[in-house]
Structure 1
Amino acid sequence: MGVFVRVRGWLDCDEDHLAGARAVIAAHAHEHYSRGWVIRDHIPGYTPCVLYTGDLREHWLDWLLTQVRAIAALPARDDDHVRGLFFAMHETRGTTTWRVHAGQVSPASPPQGLAYLDE
């Protein structure tokens, strides 16, 4: 069957970033895994955001990370970059976070107190 990675995360955006995110997602379309993307826009009183939730085969993780990096690298507007956080919960290697800030994606161990994600 292969090894799976559960990915859950979000990106806070503005309207320009949403358009860029849509373009990135469309450029990397996959019949199955692209269905994990959800774009939440036009919600009064809320920050627009892009969400992802999916269980991917391990070899598709780079496909997703490439998209997250491309969205993170979208030009800042009024000094505001896309920012967010993803959890990649690997079946055999545990959880890694992808911290999205300042145009970059920084993989890291999850903060203390989140070990239950690996249970």
Structure 2
Amino acid sequence: MGMYVAVRGWLEVDHKQREQVEQTVAAYGRDGYAGGWAFPVKPFNWTLYVFYGGDIRESAVASFRDLVAELARLAPVDEDLDMPAGFFLLSYERQQSTSWTIRDGQLIETLAPAELRWFAERP
């Protein structure tokens, strides 16, 4: 059966990048976890927030990380040169948590901040 990892997080991108984000997610959709992505039905203001929430097999984390890293590298589309930014929290069944911070075209993986580690703790 395997171990599972609870993944939740978001990316901030420009509205002009929505189609590219959707296409990139669809290209990785072969593993069955693409259904965890949520796009606003009626976007507003200037930032598009794209969310993810789902429990994925531990063996699929590397592929999911590749997807998020690819999204982090999306080229800027306006004069501000803003790249995607975001945060993901991963809680493993082994009662450990890691986090991915997305900024400046990179995915930075670290232990989850102490104040968020309780997500992985079992009573």
TM-score normalised by L of structure 1? 0.90
Q: Cα RMSD (Å) of the superposition? A: 1.7
State the one-letter code of the partner of 1:88: L
In 1, Cα distance between equivalents of 2:10 and 2:69? 13
Partner residue of 2:105?
103
Q: Deviations over 1:48-81 (max 9, x none)?
A: 1111111011111112111101110000232101
1:113 pairs with 111, 115, 120, which one? Answer: 115
In 2, Cα distance between equivalents of 1:32 and 1:115? 27
Give aligned-pair identity as a percent. 30
In 1, Cα distance between equivalents of 2:46 and 2:17? 15
Partner residue of 1:94?
96
Partner residue of 2:61?
61
In 1, Cα distance between equivalents of 2:69 and 2:56? 17
In 2, Cα distance between equivalents of 1:73 and 1:112? 28
Contact 1:41 1:48 in 2 (8 A): no
In 1, Cα distance between equivalents of 2:67 and 2:19? 14
Partner residue of 2:6?
6
1:40 aligns to what SS in structure 2? coil
Partner residue of 2:20?
20
State the one-letter code of the partner of 2:40: R
1:43 aligns to what SS in structure 2? coil
Shift of 1:113: 1.6
Partner residue of 2:37?
37
In 2, Cα distance between equivalents of 1:17 and 1:46? 12
Contact 2:95 2:120 in 1 (8 A): no
TM-score normalised by L of structure 2? 0.87
Query: Is residue 52 from structure 1 mapped to residue 52 from structure 2 by the alignment?
Result: yes
Shift of 1:38: 1.1
Contact 2:14 2:46 in 1 (8 A): no
State the one-letter code of the partner of 2:101: R
Q: Which runs of 5+ in 2 are unaligned?
A: none
In 1, Cα distance between equivalents of 2:17 and 2:100? 18
Shift of 1:93: 5.3
